[in-house]
Amino acid sequence: MDIGKKRNEARGNGKINKGPGRKGTEGDGARAKSGNRNTNASGKGERGGDKDKDRWGEERGKRETRERGNGEGSRRSEGKVSGKGNGSVDRDKDKHRNENVNGEWKARGRSSGESLQRNEGKVSGRGNRNVDGDRDKRRNENVNGDWRARGPKGEPEKGGKFKAKNKDGQCKVSRECGGCQMIDVPYPEQLIRKHKETEKLLKPFVKLEGIIGMDEPEHYRNKVNAAFTHDRKGKPLSGVYKEGTHYIIPVEECLLENKKADEIIGSIRELLPSFKIKTYDEDTGYGLLRHVMVRVGYTSGQIMVVLVLASPIMPSKNNFVKALLKLHSDITTIVINVNDRKTSMVLGDKEQVIYGKGYIEDSLNGKSFKISPKSFYQINSVQTQKLYGKAIEYAGLTGKETILDAYCGIGTIGIMAADKAKQVIGVELNKDAVKDAVINAKQNQISNIQFYQKDAGEFMVQLAEQGTKIDTVFMDPPRAGSDEVFLNSLVALKPKKVVYVSCNPETLARDLEYLVKKGYRGVKGVAVDMFPFTNHVESVILLHRKNI
């Protein structure tokens, strides 16, 4: 959420997505159906038609300004190169291009095909490439190392190790990049601001317990995307798109990004000339390398490198791999992704594994997960464990419940909750995400969970018609929130409890208002700072049916 402004005035883009992308994985587009967490490049989902445009449609028709979310979460604007060394495009051409693609920059930071917009949707922030998907923090009376935001007057306590020092040059490009809106704000003050703004939005529906922050709020992004270009002399450059433009701002290191990921991107940049690999030129369509994405497992240390090419043919790829591994022997796998379309999406549909297994593994709260190039996986692993842990804690599971994990993605919440429930049902529209979810359940030896590839709203209607009893529903929609079709389906299913995980307090407040009118009440909630130094924040809210 871009605090202080309507998120719907920022990062969401375009109209209805047509394909099966979603919060969990990337796609060219997403169906605009109820349970569809789908979103496009930016990270926001959208509903079709003009119905209820005042409440829902408006927020999906405009572009949001980064996040990534992470969460999701989403970095800077899409587009072409520029800048002093980048002379490929002039400002008039850039302006024209931006106008043309505005209708194309749709929502969704939590997928692989997200655009590199710094301030897309929920999570944004300095190392924001693709953000997908991204979120916030808080001070918590030293519980598990957290900063709990509760002072004598109910405000977040001040404190924290990090002191902003951008005035002395901590980040040379933050003003142009636009990803770290709070780079100059001391971290404890960031938590106070986020807590106050979230509390103000949600006050009519639920009381917040505080905001959960980080002890070390730097270099938290485990997924880094870099756009590649060249200067007038042909020297390769990599970085992020300047906010609101197609100009690439060269970036060598970022306060938010994993340090190892930045080092690998730098090495690739230096290797290109010796292998005569040209960077892609958006104007002419000439060149090969468009983007590089690096994903790092927080607990496993495994590293995935994805080379996004304009053509499936990469000259001397085997020698290139050997040279890169010589510099970084800890790389686990290297994948070529082919994106030959003129689009703001980062990833294309075709992939070729040229080293390793084509995926990495990581763990959250003791459960292991397979992460492929297009998998949705929260970009802040430290805070994700707190976020999902809090969601499961709020559910108050006793081992007797049947729970539904809507928008389940690769199954993270459902798998983490399975040990505490009788049965878990996960529903997700994206088929690749469902495949990963099934694999993740097997490798964690979980037998009481089933996954379905369906629209979540339609699936809940079917469950209600069949008389299936669901005790608790976990829902974790994209930044655009849920739509009325999904919420009506939820009400028809009549679960006793709903645990709503949100990456946008504004759309959360809208959805809570609707659910309260339909017979639910807010019990408690907490904010979680998934994306330090940005204006974005996550929340977990527990609702009960009023007659319970």
HEC assignment per residue over 24-36: CECCCCECCCCCC
476 is in an annotated binding site: yes
Q: Per-residue confidence at 109, pLDDT binned at 50, 70, 90?
A: very low
Residues 6+ apart with CB under 8 A from 475: 406, 407, 482, 490, 498, 499, 500, 501
CA distances from 111 to 42, 325, 475 (A): 9, 27, 17
* 466-480 confidence digits (pLDDT tens): 989 999 999 999 888
* pLDDT (0 to 100) of residue 108: 34
Mean pLDDT to the nearest integer, 363-386 = 93
Residue listed under structure tokens 């979230």: 198
Range with lowest mean pLDDT among 82-91, 129-138, 197-206, 307-316: 129-138
Question: Do both 339 and 393 map to the same domain?
Answer: no
CB 253 within 8 A of CB 171: no
Question: Do both 330 and 355 map to the same domain?
Answer: yes
Residue 461, classed as helix, strand or coil, is helix
Residue listed under structure tokens 């419940």: 401
Question: Is 537 a member of any domain?
Answer: yes
Residues 6+ apart with CB under 8 A from 128: 66, 67, 68, 74, 75, 76, 116, 117, 118, 119, 120, 134, 179, 221, 240, 256, 534
* pLDDT (0 to 100) of residue 175: 79
Question: Do both 355 and 388 map to the same domain?
Answer: no
428 is in an annotated binding site: yes
Question: Do both 411 and 358 map to the same domain?
Answer: no
Range with lowest mean pLDDT among 144-158, 233-247, 504-518: 144-158
Helices (H), 102-217: 174-177, 187-202
* Predicted confidence (pLDDT) at residue 52 exceeds the cutoff of 60: no
* 53-91 confidence digits (pLDDT tens): 444 444 444 433 333 333 333 343 333 333 344 444 344
Neighbour-count burial for 527-541, b at 16+ CB within 10 Å, e otherwise: bbbbbbbbbbbbbbb
* Predicted confidence (pLDDT) at residue 171 exceeds the cutoff of 90: no
* Predicted confidence (pLDDT) at residue 128 exceeds the cutoff of 80: no
Number of domain units in the chain: 2
- % residues pLDDT > 70 (the chain): 69
Question: Do both 254 and 353 map to the same domain?
Answer: yes
Question: Do both 390 and 519 map to the same domain?
Answer: yes
* Predicted confidence (pLDDT) at residue 458 exceeds the cutoff of 50: yes
Question: Do both 244 and 320 map to the same domain?
Answer: yes
Domain span at residue 394 reads 97-112+184-218+380-548
378 is in an annotated binding site: yes
Mean pLDDT (the chain, rounded): 76
CA distances from 390 to 212, 292, 310, 407, 524 (A): 10, 34, 42, 18, 11
Last residue of a domain, one of 334, 364, 394: 364
- % residues pLDDT > 90 (the chain): 55
* 388-446 confidence digits (pLDDT tens): 999 999 999 999 999 999 999 999 999 999 999 999 999 998 888 899 999 999 999 99
52 is in an annotated binding site: no
**Distance (Å, whole) CA 183 – CA 199:** 22
What six digits make up the tokens of 133?
């998907």
Domain at 481, CATH number: 3.40.50.150
Nearest to 433 by CA among 167, 150, 36: 36
* Predicted confidence (pLDDT) at residue 94 exceeds the cutoff of 90: no
Question: Is 514 a member of any domain?
Answer: yes
* Predicted confidence (pLDDT) at residue 501 exceeds the cutoff of 90: yes
Question: Do both 470 and 411 map to the same domain?
Answer: yes
pTM of the model: 0.71
- DSSP at 494: -
Burial of 171 (0-12, 13-18, 19+ CB in 10 A): buried
111 or 510, greater pLDDT: 510
Mean pLDDT to the nearest integer, 521-535 = 96
Whether omega before 109 lies within 30 degrees of 0, making that bond cis, reads no
Nearest to 64 by CA among 7, 16, 148: 7
* 227-258 confidence digits (pLDDT tens): 999 998 999 999 998 877 778 999 998 999 99
* Predicted confidence (pLDDT) at residue 465 exceeds the cutoff of 70: yes
**Distance (Å, whole) CA 216 – CA 259:** 14
Transcribe 142-167 into DSSP letters.
TSTT--B---TTSSPPP--S----GG
Could you say which of 180, 254, 408, 503 is catalytic? 503
Based on the residue annotation, tell me whether 503 is a catalytic residue of this protein: yes
19 or 512, greater pLDDT: 512
Mean pLDDT to the nearest integer, 363-381 = 92
* Predicted confidence (pLDDT) at residue 270 exceeds the cutoff of 50: yes
Domain at 348, CATH number: 2.40.50.1070
